[in-house]
Amino acid sequence: YAALDCKLKDGSMTLEEKLLAKGTFDAFSKASADLLCGMPVSKDSSLALIMASVYRDVSEYLTPDRMIASEITQDNMAYFLGVDTLKIKEGLAVEPMIRPAAHSVCLVRLADGEDVEKAKKAIAENVNPYKWICAGVDPENVRVDNIGNLIILVMDNSFADALVANFKALPADAKGAVLVGDTVVEKQALSAKSVTGFADKINAVHQKYLKNNQVFYSIVPDKSYYLRQSFAEYLDHGKLMEQLAPLMSKDMTRILLESTLDASDYYKTDRHWRQEKLEQTVKELSRAMGFTVDWSAFQARTGGEFTGNYARLLDSLKVEPFTYLESAGTKATKVSLYGKEGTVPVYDTAKLETNDPYAVFLSELSPVTVLDNPTVKEKRELVLFTDSFGTSLAPLLLDRYSKITLVDLRFVASELLPELVDFSGAQVLFLYSDVLVNNSNLLK
């Protein structure tokens, strides 16, 4: 195998290139050998290598020596995909040399800017599962799926799901980023140990300081949860919650937010949610916690252009509009940051020009941040244990609370809480993102 990379005597090509040219084996067979020898594969690999990964360990009857690989071109596209109008960068089809049963797997990488969902729909509606005339695939065993602009078509009566599962298991790129359409998500495996650690830390704070308070907790799904059909290595919010729920103190009320959000409620270039999209989330929190928020009291303000932290992973990301919501409460509120003199506004728009644009909300991360709203005459206080997601949520609650104290346990040890926070009479909400739960070692 190592000799395949060696140059021939005349230096014109390698042994591999010579054998490929002679037809001794094809690119699919060679890619299968590469895979067996440990070559890494991702969604950006060659179609031959991805195809080899799709077939790996599925069945002894679906091996490279039994298959023939064909390039998908404009001339044969209709035969393989049922349509001939797709604009593609490249395509590869694999079918049996001898057909004891109908079988076909096709991979196509769409051209830049093409509508992936429209292409998938066209393939699903037009491909002919009976194209072999004397044999066919039950239409229920036809699968069309994608990772980004890479589409797979599988027709097989026995192994369709296994082949698609291998495709969906393709990892993200080397930096851990996956581009789903024009939305960036990060891969992250679920850590059961971290979920347990999170529950232990939150329960300890509750047990030590909050026995006399009304306490709630809520976990914000990672953006990848709403795009989980598009790639493999998403942070599994369902499993995370399934593990976390029985570990949390029964004296805390859980507030579920999954149904209040979808992928469009998050920035495309950042993992955070968009403040202006949180109406349903705020309604669910208010329903559970016993208050109301008048959404019509907010005015949307455009804060210029925004490129989130995923710019560190992928180049040339498109800028997004940045919007924040003002109300009488946000305008009147004074924000105090621990260790800083004076106060700052709720929205620090100068932060848009920095490398941390999400810091527009409450200016910067702080161990303890206090929001005092003089427009609410009745004393009603909230202590919000949170990560950066809470900084954009808190301003939306100001018209209901006279004082909101944000506590970030990443930056302050829980032993110091009695010196920094007055819990008496306050409602308490633990609101954390999936990512923080999955990295609970960050909590002090």
Predicted local confidence at residue 394, as pLDDT = 93
Single-letter code of the amino acid located at 17: E
Runs of H (alpha helix) within 258-412? 279-289, 328-332, 389-393
Q: Residue 173: pLDDT above 60?
A: no
Q: What is the pLDDT of residues 338-389, one digit of tens each?
A: 888 888 888 887 877 776 667 888 877 789 999 999 988 888 999 999 998 9
Q: Residue 21: pLDDT above 70?
A: no
DSSP state string for 226-253: GGTTS-S----HHHHHHHHGGGS-TTSE
Q: Residue 185: pLDDT above 90?
A: no
What is the signed CA dihedral for 193, 198, 203, 204, rounded to 10 degrees? 90
* Cross-strand bridge partners of residue 69: 94
- Please tell me what DSSP assigns to residue 274: P
Q: Residue 229: pLDDT above 50?
A: yes
How many other C-beta atoms are found inside a 10 Å radius of the C-beta of residue 91? 23
| pLDDT band with cut points at 50, 70 and 90 for residue 230 | low
Q: Which residue has the tokens 């955070």?
A: 272
HSE-up (13 A, CA, CB side) for residue 248: 21
Q: What is the pTM of this model?
A: 0.65
Lowest-pLDDT range, 55-59, 137-141, 245-249?
A: 55-59
Distance CA 393, CA 352 (A): 18
Q: Residue 252: pLDDT above 70?
A: yes
Query: Percentage of the chain surpassing pLDDT 70?
Result: 84
Predicted local confidence at residue 249, as pLDDT = 93
In this prediction, residues 161-171 reach a mean pLDDT of: 79
Higher pLDDT, 255 or 44: 255
- Residue 400 and residue 187 in contact, taking contact as beta carbons nearer than 8 Å: no
- Please tell me what DSSP assigns to residue 4: G
Tell me the CA distances in angstroms from 158 to 50, 138, 140, one per residue in order.
Answer: 21, 10, 11
Per the prediction, the chain carries an average pLDDT of 85
- Interaxial angle between packed helices 27-36 and 47-55, expressed in degrees from 0 to 180 and rounded to the nearest 10: 60
Predicted local confidence at residue 174, as pLDDT = 47
Closest CA to 295 of 269, 329, 253: 329
Q: Which residue has the tokens 């941390």?
A: 356
Q: What is the pLDDT of residues 113-156, one digit of tens each?
A: 899 999 999 999 999 999 887 778 999 999 999 888 899 999 99
Per domain, the residue ranges of the chain are 2-170, 187-442
Q: Which two tokens stand for residue 102?
A: 């109908």
Backbone angles phi, psi at 402, to 5 degrees: -80, -25
Closest CA to 206 of 195, 194, 219, 215: 215
Quick check: helix, strand or coil at residue 357?
A: helix
Predicted local confidence at residue 78, as pLDDT = 95
Q: Residue 80: pLDDT above 80?
A: yes
Burial of 112 (0-12, 13-18, 19+ CB in 10 A): exposed
| pLDDT band with cut points at 50, 70 and 90 for residue 7 | low
In this prediction, residues 165-186 reach a mean pLDDT of: 69
Distance CA 258, CA 383 (A): 22
Predicted local confidence at residue 268, as pLDDT = 86
Tell me the CA distances in angstroms from 10 to 7, 14, 143, 271, 286, one per residue in order.
Answer: 8, 10, 47, 54, 77
In this prediction, residues 172-191 reach a mean pLDDT of: 70
Q: Which residue has the tokens 């709403």?
A: 226
Closest CA to 361 of 296, 297, 408, 426: 408
Q: Residue 193: pLDDT above 60?
A: yes
Higher pLDDT, 170 or 410: 410
Single-letter code of the amino acid located at 135: A
Closest CA to 215 of 432, 441, 430: 430
Order of strands, edge to edge, in the sheet holding 103-110?
67-71, 88-96, 103-110, 150-156, 142-147
In this prediction, residues 145-170 reach a mean pLDDT of: 87
Q: Residue 22: pLDDT above 80?
A: no
Backbone angles phi, psi at 433, to 5 degrees: -85, 155
- Residue 273 and residue 221 in contact, taking contact as beta carbons nearer than 8 Å: no
Q: Residue 110: pLDDT above 60?
A: yes
Task: Find the distance separating the first CA and the last CA of the chain, reported in whole Å.
Answer: 52
